[in-house]
Amino acid sequence: MAQMLNAEIIAIGSEMLTPFRTDTNSLWLTDRLNGLGIDVKLKTVVGDDEGRLEEMIRDAMKRSEIIISTGGLGPTEDDITRKIFARVLKKRLILNDSILEKIRARFAKRGVPMPEINSRQALIIEDAQLIENKNGTAPGMLIYHGKCTIALLPGPPREMKPMFEAAVAPALRERAGDLLILRRKLSIFGLTESATDEIAAPIYTKFRNPVTTILFKDGQIELHLTANAKTVDEAEKLLDELAGQLDVALGEYIFSRRDETLEEVVGDKLKLNGYTLATAESCTGGLLAGRITEVPGSSDYFLEGAVTYSNEAKARQLGVPKDLIEVHGAVSEEVAKAMAEGVRRLAGSTFGIGITGIAGPGGGTEEKPVGLVYVALADDEETMIRKFIFPGDRQFIRQLSVNAALDLIRRRL
Amino acid sequence: MAQMLNAEIIAIGSEMLTPFRTDTNSLWLTDRLNGLGIDVKLKTVVGDDEGRLEEMIRDAMKRSEIIISTGGLGPTEDDITRKIFARVLKKRLILNDSILEKIRARFAKRGVPMPEINSRQALIIEDAQLIENKNGTAPGMLIYHGKCTIALLPGPPREMKPMFEAAVAPALRERAGDLLILRRKLSIFGLTESATDEIAAPIYTKFRNPVTTILFKDGQIELHLTANAKTVDEAEKLLDELAGQLDVALGEYIFSRRDETLEEVVGDKLKLNGYTLATAESCTGGLLAGRITEVPGSSDYFLEGAVTYSNEAKARQLGVPKDLIEVHGAVSEEVAKAMAEGVRRLAGSTFGIGITGIAGPGGGTEEKPVGLVYVALADDEETMIRKFIFPGDRQFIRQLSVNAALDLIRRRL
């Protein structure tokens, strides 16, 4: 790849050094910076610790061309970003009257007098370019210092993101010049991570641009392709070539090339064909219906669901014969089939899905272990049944079961 | 608080500098280090970049007493942790024959010959203490250098965590001496973040130890209290005093003092009383049943659920009169009540819950806006109904609706 500008991201605030909070701002910023053709080489999280922050900023200015800091612009003593950047840059902090007025007005609008400490947020580093904050009180700053472009942004994402877009991205775009990064995501279901890699690696390792990353996420595999080029067309062409070869090799295991979820892909196909769906769940306890109805407009194709935990409910709600349950057990091919056919008949839907299994941790036997799950899909011609033995804990088994059911109907469509 | 040892955490690997991966190891490590009375002052993420990693390690050794690195111990060229630490420490890398044999044996067990590059994982920094890896090929290392204790651990959490527990924690415990940190979490529902703070801040700001942090997470509020003391008893006493005062002030808004979820609290209370529950959901589409059945053993009290998206299903599955829906609309107090009572009657459960609402983004009107949700709880005496207008997007509205339903039954119990 061609030489790219280097950036580093500094997250400031002691709450980011607790076990409770992770710095998610930097993921979003990395995506945006990469999109501008800028490489992120380092990320740091530093607390309300003047000495360490000062050292971090001094070092950053030596090694990085672009520095983005988030957080530490609040009104309290702990908010040290302004002060320490000013110290390292050897600049004064100047009270900006018009910012002060804006902060006062924000409080007045809410019918509250401005606490005196908030005036600290109107202190601006000398020569810095102001970045307006439409969603909060702390303005941001853009500073040019030697080879460094420095942006100070507030921590809350809903303040930080629009400020980056409005002021920082345009400034960096000018500087980064004519290189850009484009990404594409291939979403895969039905293969393990290593099986995917065995198929995909012989292809993607032939390419140095795009670069390919494999991720395992929520029981699915994602292939992320990242291309670097001078124009969007050129980057798209590079992506098309690699994606095309991966497409041929991975075939129907790829369920999306456009960052859609399984439930969106299924929903689109149902809607397109005017088909409808009803679900009958035991071990997944409503999660399948929950996932399907995450999609806006799902009421067009999702009619109803039954969560039949008890055998009594399986019989009454779905018409599963009680002797069938007695003979084969609630977790069986036969009961999954009867559930799918029952809910389809009652709802009058094109498709019916039935899921029954043992999510654990209790309830497993040697013959029927924890992780055993049957998924059935009924339509007017036939009922397909799949048997799975899933690994992992209760939550993971339930999640994999929902994914398997969605993938079964995706392939049927 | 008393003076604590300082630690910093370095995550190594270019995949951590993409928009897709966040360093979650450091959250777990922070929790464990804090538990040993060690303060985490800095976290860094650095890629497969020799220059930057070398600089980072040099600086870390100057400012920190404890350095924990994760990642970069794999078999490829990109795995630079061993090499760069050895360079900074001015130590040699020595091939350890017994480790090499163990790695070979691991591969043999899987019926695969060891790829030659894996022998790199048997290179050990001179004078380092080995940390055995029972779940992978890369051993860890523990190094004492001047005032610094340095631990090199692999990146995968299932390898890193047991190695930390087995070898790093005991070494640090000895060094950290007689200070420890204890945490307590109060989980709150039914108040906004600022309303919680208005009640809690006058109390917790009087305490310098424990320190209190407020977090807003998944529609709930968490108060984290962190106490620092020489003994567990002393720390517990400090926590008891503050938690006791917060308890009085926040009363029934606190649903857990022991890190339980709302569905666990509700499940415990149902089980204790021998009560049972059935659910009827429209806008939440099965998510409530899904949450309730996340809890192992929920089949003891959860009988069944109905996901009645269509009016047809509301009538047939739950016996909601069609003219009731026509007169009042599917999203109404009357229909929520009929759903709760219907599912309770059919399932023969102690309690029935009904939820109907408009999750959006479409379907809202001036009279019935997006976010309008009715939740009803029926028992043998009465049916309580609550009306909400929730903010946010489809996903958030559905989540808040589920939380509101769980909280309604919690308070009833």
Same domain, B171 and B215: no
Residue B1 has pLDDT above 50, yes or no: no
Same domain, B24 and B91: yes
**Which 221-240 residues of chain A touch chain B by CB within 8 A?**
222, 224
The whole-number pLDDT of residue B3 equals: 65
Residue type for A160, please?
A: M
Contacts of B281 in chain A (CB under 8 A): 286
Give SS3 for A260.
coil
Picking from A173-182, A191-200, B227-236, B237-246, which range would have the lowest pLDDT averaged per residue?
A173-182
- Using the Cβ of A57 and the Cβ atoms of chain B, whether some distance falls under 8 Å is answered with no
**How close does chain B come to A28, measured CA to CA in Å?**
6
**Which 290-329 residues of chain A touch chain B by CB within 8 A?**
290, 292-294, 296-299, 302-310, 312-313, 316-317
- Using the Cβ of A364 and the Cβ atoms of chain B, whether some distance falls under 8 Å is answered with no
Instruction: Tell me the per-residue pLDDT of B100-139, one tens digit each, with 9 for 90 and over.
Output: 999 898 888 878 788 888 888 999 999 999 999 988 888 9
Note down the domain range covering B70.
5-176
**Which 164-203 residues of chain A touch chain B by CB within 8 A?**
none
Count how many domains chain B has: 3
**Contact between B400 and B219 (Cβ < 8 Å):** yes
Integer Cα distance of B86 and B100 in angstroms: 19
CA dihedral A59, A62, A64, A69 (to 10 degrees): 40
Q: Shortest CB distance from A309 goes to which of B285, B302, B307? A: B302
Contact B20 A215 (CB under 8 A): yes
Of all residues in chain B, the one with the smallest CA distance to A32 is: B19
Residue type for B272, please?
A: L
Domain boundary among B120, B141, B176: B176
Same domain, B247 and B388: no
DSSP strand pairing (A66-70 vs A129-131): unpaired
The sign of the dihedral angle between the CA atoms of A67, A72, A78, A80 is: positive
Of all residues in chain B, the one with the smallest CA distance to A213 is: B15
Reading phi first (left if > 0) and then psi (alpha if -120 to 50, else beta), residue B219 is in left
- Using the Cβ of B210 and the Cβ atoms of chain A, whether some distance falls under 8 Å is answered with no
Q: What is the pLDDT along chain A (413 residues), one digit of tens a residue?
A: 446 789 999 999 988 898 888 889 999 999 999 888 898 999 999 998 999 999 999 999 999 999 999 999 988 877 899 999 999 999 999 999 999 999 898 888 878 788 888 888 999 999 999 999 988 888 999 999 999 999 999 999 989 999 999 999 999 988 877 777 888 999 999 887 778 888 998 999 999 899 888 877 777 888 989 898 888 899 999 999 999 999 999 999 999 998 899 999 999 999 999 999 999 999 999 999 999 999 999 999 999 999 998 899 999 999 999 999 999 999 999 999 999 999 999 999 999 999 999 998 988 999 999 999 999 999 999 999 999 998 888 998 999 999 999 999 999 99
Q: Shortest CB distance from A18 goes to which of B19, B30, B296? A: B30
CA B66 to chain CA centroid, nearest Å: 25
Contacts of A346 in chain B (CB under 8 A): 316-317
CATH number at residue A278: 3.90.950.20
Contacts of B299 in chain A (CB under 8 A): 309-310
**Contact between A164 and A156 (Cβ < 8 Å):** no
Contact A290 B284 (CB under 8 A): yes
Contact A306 B317 (CB under 8 A): yes
Contact B307 A312 (CB under 8 A): no
Same domain, B168 and B51: yes
The whole-number pLDDT of residue A3 equals: 65
Contacts of B59 in chain A (CB under 8 A): 55, 59
Residue type for A366, please?
A: E
The whole-number pLDDT of residue B36 equals: 86
- Using the Cβ of B20 and the Cβ atoms of chain A, whether some distance falls under 8 Å is answered with yes
**Which 110-149 residues of chain B touch chain A by CB within 8 A?**
none
Q: At what angle do helices A50-63 and A81-89 cross, to 10 degrees?
A: 50
Mean pLDDT across the stretch B29-43?
Answer: 91
Integer Cα distance of A386 and A371 in angstroms: 13
Residue ranges of alpha helices (H) inside B177-220 are 193-204
Q: Which of B6, B12, B47 is nearest to B30 (CA)?
A: B6
**Could you tell me the CA-to-CA distances from B211 to A267, B234, B238 in Å, in that order?**
48, 15, 10
CA B348 to chain CA centroid, nearest Å: 36
Same domain, B144 and B17: yes
Give SS3 for A41.
strand
Residue B401: its H or E element: helix B394-412
Same domain, B31 and B163: yes
Same domain, B26 and B139: yes
Integer Cα distance of A139 and A132 in angstroms: 5
Contacts of A201 in chain B (CB under 8 A): none
Contacts of B30 in chain A (CB under 8 A): 17-19
Instruction: Tell me the per-residue pLDDT of B167-203, one tens digit each, with 9 for 90 and over.
Output: 999 999 888 777 778 889 999 998 877 788 889 989 9
Contacts of B305 in chain A (CB under 8 A): 285-286, 305-307, 309
Same domain, B229 and B352: no
Q: Shortest CB distance from B19 goes to which of A31, A316, A395? A: A31
Q: Which of B210, B213, B211, B212 is nearest to B236 (CA)?
A: B210
The whole-number pLDDT of residue A1 equals: 43
Q: Which of B43, B129, B52 is nearest to B84 (CA)?
A: B52
Residue type for A166, please?
A: A
- Using the Cβ of B85 and the Cβ atoms of chain A, whether some distance falls under 8 Å is answered with no
Contact A304 B296 (CB under 8 A): no
Instruction: Tell me the per-residue pLDDT of B3-19, one tens digit each, with 9 for 90 and over.
Output: 678 999 999 998 889 88
pTM above 0.90, yes or no: no
Of all residues in chain B, the one with the smallest CA distance to A308 is: B304
Contacts of A343 in chain B (CB under 8 A): none
Of all residues in chain B, the one with the smallest CA distance to A28 is: B19
Domain boundary among B116, B151, B176: B176
Same domain, B307 and B210: no
CATH number at residue B185: 3.30.70.2860
The sign of the dihedral angle between the CA atoms of B209, B214, B220, B226 is: negative
Interface pTM, i.e. ipTM: 0.78
Contact B47 A49 (CB under 8 A): no
Q: Name B365's Cβ contacts closer than 8 Å, sequence gap at least 6.
A: none
Give SS3 for B233.
helix
Domain boundary among A217, A232, A256: A256
- Using the Cβ of B1 and the Cβ atoms of chain A, whether some distance falls under 8 Å is answered with no
Contact B31 A19 (CB under 8 A): yes
CATH number at residue A82: 3.40.980.10
Contact A20 B284 (CB under 8 A): no
| CB burial string A159-193: b at 16+ within 10 A, e below | bbbebbeebbbebbeeebeebbbbbbbbbbbbbee
Integer Cα distance of A212 and B26 in angstroms: 26
**How close does chain A come to B75, measured CA to CA in Å?**
17
Contacts of A276 in chain B (CB under 8 A): none
Same domain, A235 and A307: no
Integer Cα distance of B373 and B284 in angstroms: 10
Residue B217 has pLDDT above 80, yes or no: no
Asked if residue A210 has a cis previous peptide bond (ω within 30° of 0), the answer is: yes
The whole-number pLDDT of residue A59 equals: 95
Same domain, A112 and A203: no
Same domain, B164 and B267: no
